[in-house]
Amino acid sequence: MIRRTVLSHFVSQYKCGLCRRFVSRLAEVGKLETPKLEGKYETGQLLLHRVFGYRGVALFPWNARVYDRDVPQKRDNASDDSSAGYNQVGREVKGHTHTYYQVLIDSRDCPFVRTQTEAVTFLGNQENSRSLYAIPGLDYVAHEDIIPYTSLDRQPIQHELFEKFLFHDPEKDPPFSARETLKAWQEKNHPWLELSEVHKETTENVRVTVIPFYMGCRPSSSGNVYWWRYCIRLENLGELAVQLRERHWKILSLAGNLENVRGPGVIGQEPVLSKSQPAFQYSSHVSIQAASGHMWYVSLFVANKKLGSFRMEREDGYSFDCRIPPFSLDSKHDPNVGATNS
């Protein structure tokens, strides 16, 4: 264990990986532990998010296939097609299995986090309902983004679901165990919570990470409508600040329909990614009238303008198109076509 007190109150940026800087007072929350290089964190593990800095607690892990287009791909004639993705020019990209965690975010930190804290959404229980519901303070965190810590507080994380899902267990390390309500909630909501694929690609030191989630199907007057949500993280790995100015999506369903989506910024914002605040994360939704499809960046030129990217502007005035890694919209052969998965 690192014998160094973790100081925290308002979420901001880490300094030296041991404490945070804040515009207000500091408060002790616990002691840092050494991050795990092997194995998984247990349910109830307290954590600090390495990128966004919030306090949280791990509920349960997911095993996801990560398709990283920044990693050199090796040819393997015996490759398994089920573990292959494709980039914007059709080159095969192999996936590798990686651990992510379902996490509760401390509600005290939510107002200061550059990520949507109500981004985990699901369809209502009624088949014909168009309602969309959100679970506040849920996130998906990669194993390497977890900085574990311990606390003597019996309720170190403030979240409306903390005591419903976990109870203090002094005989366990970490000293919190899952209640039956957490196990039942995980089993019931598994279809729309499931994280199965992660896609990454970097352009001009800006890394884009996309995680798609299938939400279910709804009937309409023209046929079934299939819904997905997708979570996107933009992270500046360079020295100069960049600002997102515009987005452009191409959405292709296997039914042959092609849709273009273009607009300024994302979710009404044009975030700046700087050295002090290098990342921004948001979620959105898409629906198509087919059980499968794709969203992707396409390298096409029309009137000398590149289509299908995030348009970024660097602080030195240089503008560029940041590639979005292509990803599939897969209903995973939903046996309940026309019914919700919530």
State which of 25-34, 146-155, 212-221 shows the largest mean pLDDT: 146-155
- What's the confidence (pLDDT) of residue 23? 45
- Of the two residues 89 and 65, the one the predictor is more confident about is 65
CB 322 within 8 A of CB 273: no
**E strands in 89-222:** 92-94, 96-105, 120-123, 132-135, 138-142, 146-150, 166-168, 176-178, 197-203, 206-220
pLDDT in tens, 27-53: 678 899 999 998 999 999 999 999 999
Q: Which domains does the chain have, with CATH numbers?
A: 29-72+92-195 (no CATH), 203-341 (2.60.40.1470)
pLDDT in tens, 226-243: 888 889 999 999 999 999
Mean pLDDT taken over the chain: 78
Q: What's the rounded Cα separation, in Å, for the pair 167 and 179?
A: 7
User: What 3-state class would DSSP assign to 209?
Assistant: strand
- pLDDT of 17 > 50? The answer is no
Q: Which two tokens stand for residue 210?
A: 């996309």
- What's the confidence (pLDDT) of residue 235? 96
- pLDDT of 314 > 90? The answer is yes
- What's the confidence (pLDDT) of residue 15? 35
Please report, rounded to a whole number, the percentage of residues in the chain having pLDDT higher than 70: 73
- What's the confidence (pLDDT) of residue 74? 59
Of the listed ranges 8-17, 20-29, 282-291, the least confidently predicted one is 8-17
State which of 79-93, 109-123, 292-306 shows the largest mean pLDDT: 109-123
- What's the confidence (pLDDT) of residue 73? 63
- Of the two residues 101 and 83, the one the predictor is more confident about is 101
- pLDDT of 78 > 60? The answer is no
- Of the two residues 340 and 263, the one the predictor is more confident about is 263
By CB atoms closer than 10 A (0-12, 13-18, 19+), residue 224 is middle
User: Would you place residue 326 in the very low, low, confident or very high pLDDT band (cuts 50, 70, 90)?
Assistant: confident
- pLDDT of 168 > 80? The answer is yes
Average the pLDDT over 69-87 and give the result: 55
**DSSP calls for 135-165:** ETTEEEEEGGGEEEEE-S-SS-S--TTHHHH
pLDDT in tens, 174-195: 999 999 999 999 999 888 898 9
